Amino acid sequence: AKPQYCFSKFEYTHSHQKAVIICLAHGDFLIRPSSFLAGSGCAKCSKTTHDRSKTTFVYVLTDEEDKKTKIGVSCNLESRILNLKRKTPFRFYLFETFEFNNFDEAFAFEQRIHKILKENLCEFEETFQGHTEWFNITGENALRLINSILPDFYIETLD
């Protein structure tokens, strides 16, 4: 299935100046109009077309003050973190990782956590890659939450 997009937040300034497009499955993402027209799109949609059976990580990042935490998912943790370090306007550290057997499990778990934390979503002046996955919660509290959900989550996925 092709991804569906909404352009209500899109503001064109230049073909190489990133703008916001909304993926109806995964939410806002930033992309250069030239890249979008060349066929690029939502990174999460493209990830789901990659090898879904590969070991996938849910990762927890925390900012320097440990006031904000990002919870994300990636099949290639090293390149994801390097990419985020280039795009995120503040410094952060890898706090913890959780390994899942495949992308679908990891993604479902990440979405469960995001849903629980949606009231704690950080608001930023500027959008940047991954900005919709930062929450006003400490690393320890994020870990407590994840560890409280993980056992039940595994029981559900086994059913």
- In angstroms, the Cα distances linking 46 to 42, 65, 144 are 6, 33, 31
Model confidence band, residue 136 (pLDDT cutoffs 50, 70, 90): very high
Residue position matching structure tokens 């900012």: 63
**Which tokens hold the place of 67?**
């006031």
- Of 39 and 78, which is predicted with more confidence? 78
Model confidence band, residue 159 (pLDDT cutoffs 50, 70, 90): very low
Query: For residues 73 and 110, is the Cβ–Cβ distance under 8 A?
Result: yes
pLDDT exceeds 70 at position 155? no
Q: What is the mean pLDDT of residues 86-94?
A: 94
- Of 135 and 52, which is predicted with more confidence? 135
CA 54 distance to own-chain centroid:
18
pLDDT exceeds 70 at position 154? no
Query: For residues 68 and 84, is the Cβ–Cβ distance under 8 A?
Result: no
**Which tokens hold the place of 3?**
């991804």
pLDDT tens column, 9-67: 999 988 889 999 998 888 899 998 888 887 788 888 766 555 667 789 999 999 999 99
Query: For residues 70 and 19, is the Cβ–Cβ distance under 8 A?
Result: no
The count of residues in the chain is 159
pLDDT tens column, 107-127: 999 999 999 999 999 999 988
Residue 72 CA to residue 62 CA, distance in Å, equals 12
